[in-house]
Every structure is written in structure tokens, then in C-alpha cells.
Amino acid sequence: MSQLLATPAAGDRKEKSPVVACRLTKSLHDKVMVACKAGGMSASRFIRETLQAAFDNERVVIQPAPPIPAKMKELNRNMLRLFASVSNNMNHIARRLHYDYLNDRCSDKTYAAVAEQLAILTRVMVSRLPP
């Protein structure tokens, strides 16, 4: 039992963590799923936190996720779609620029100028992402 509760050593953290599986009654499974949905977390995270709290003699407090207005959901969805499209285009430009630079098809000055503009675009895009 102590081996299961031990914190992994620094060298072991790169390895996959052990998986524990168990069967639940239908009613208990339903309660777990309701709690997960209320807290906005996965079943794995809920069970991990519950077990850790039980071993630490603490209570598990399930806090509901703050409501997201419908307008914000739509805004986020559109922003993320646009962000993904622009990021994909920037990646294509950067790859082509790098390829042409390695094959002496563009000058150092052009390479530096385009790379600088891509970096500026990246900073602007990241600053506009929702928290």
C-alpha cells in the first residue's frame, strides 16, 4: 500500500503513471458523473482529488464552473477558429521562408524582415486570446 501512495522519484516522473480501474454501481457512477459535470472536471481528476482528500482527511468541495455567456462562447469559438487559420498560414510562410533561406533563394535581409513580422504577428495574436 505504501508503494501506491509514494510520490514518484524525480527520475520516475517521465514514465507513465500507473492506472487504477474499478467497477462502480450504476447509482455511484451517476453520482460521480453529476459531480464531475458540476465541477467542470474529468472523472479521473475528480476521483484523484477525492482520494487525495480522503488520505489527507479533508473534504472534497465541488465548486460549479462559472457560467459562460452564450455570446462569449460564440466569440471564443470564432476567435479560436480564426486563430487556428492564421497560425496555420503563418506556419506555412515560416516553413517556406526557412526552406528558401537554406537553399539561397532569399537574402539574409529578407529572411530577418519576414521573421520579425511573423514574430510581431504572433505576439499580437497571443495577446488577443481570451484568458
With a cut of 70, which residues of the chain have pLDDT below it?
A: 1-15, 75, 129-131
The chain-wide mean pLDDT, for the chain, equals: 79
Q: What does the pLDDT look like over 94-129, one tens digit per residue?
A: 899 989 989 989 899 999 999 899 889 888 877 876
What burial letters (b/e) apply to 75-110, b meaning 16+ CB within 10 Å?
A: eeeeeeeeeeeeeeebeeeeeebeeebeeeebeeee
CB atoms within 10 A of CB 46: 19
C-alpha radius of gyration, the chain, whole number: 24
What distance in Å separates the CA atoms of residue 131 and residue 119, rounded to the nearest whole number?
A: 21
Domain boundaries, the chain: 16-66, 70-128
pLDDT for position 109: 93
